[in-house]
Amino acid sequence: MPSSRSASPTSRASDGASGAAAALRTERVAPAAAALALKVALAPLLVAQALATRRRALVLPEADGEREGSVGDDGAPTLRLLVAGDSSAAGVGVVRQEQAVVGHLAHALHGATGRRIEWALRARTGLTTRGVHDLLVGAAPFSADVAVVITGVNDVTHQLTTGRALRDRAALAGWLLGSGNVGHVVFAPLPPVHRFPLLPEPLRRVLGGDARRHDAALARWAATRSDVSHAAFALDLDAAGMASDGFHPGEPVYRACGEALAAHIARLRLR
In the β-sheet with 144-150, what is the strand arrangement from edge to edge? 68-71, 116-123, 78-85, 144-150, 182-187, 228-230
- Taking the CA atoms of residue 13, residue 234, residue 263 and residue 85 in that order, the dihedral angle to the nearest 10 degrees is -160
What pLDDT digit, counting tens, does each position of 45-93 carry? 999 999 999 999 999 999 999 999 999 999 899 999 999 999 999 999 9
CA atoms within 13 A on the CB side of 84: 31
Cα distance between residue 7 and residue 82, in whole Å: 28
How distant, in Å, are the alpha carbons of 51, 84, 156, 225, 260 from that of 245?
16, 22, 18, 37, 24
Q: Which band of pLDDT confidence, cut at 50, 70 and 90, is reported for residue 271?
A: low
pTM: 0.87
Predicted local distance difference test score (pLDDT) of residue 72 = 96
Residue 24 reports pLDDT greater than 50? no
Q: Which band of pLDDT confidence, cut at 50, 70 and 90, is reported for residue 8?
A: very low
Bigger pLDDT: 19 or 107?
Answer: 107
| Mean pLDDT value across residues 27-31 | 61
Predicted local distance difference test score (pLDDT) of residue 16 = 38
What pLDDT digit, counting tens, does each position of 181-231 carry? 999 999 999 999 999 999 999 999 999 999 999 999 999 999 999 999 999
Percent of the chain with pLDDT over 90: 80
Bigger pLDDT: 176 or 34?
Answer: 176
Give the helix ranges, DSSP H, for the chain.
17-25, 32-56, 87-90, 101-113, 129-138, 153-157, 162-177, 203-222, 251-266
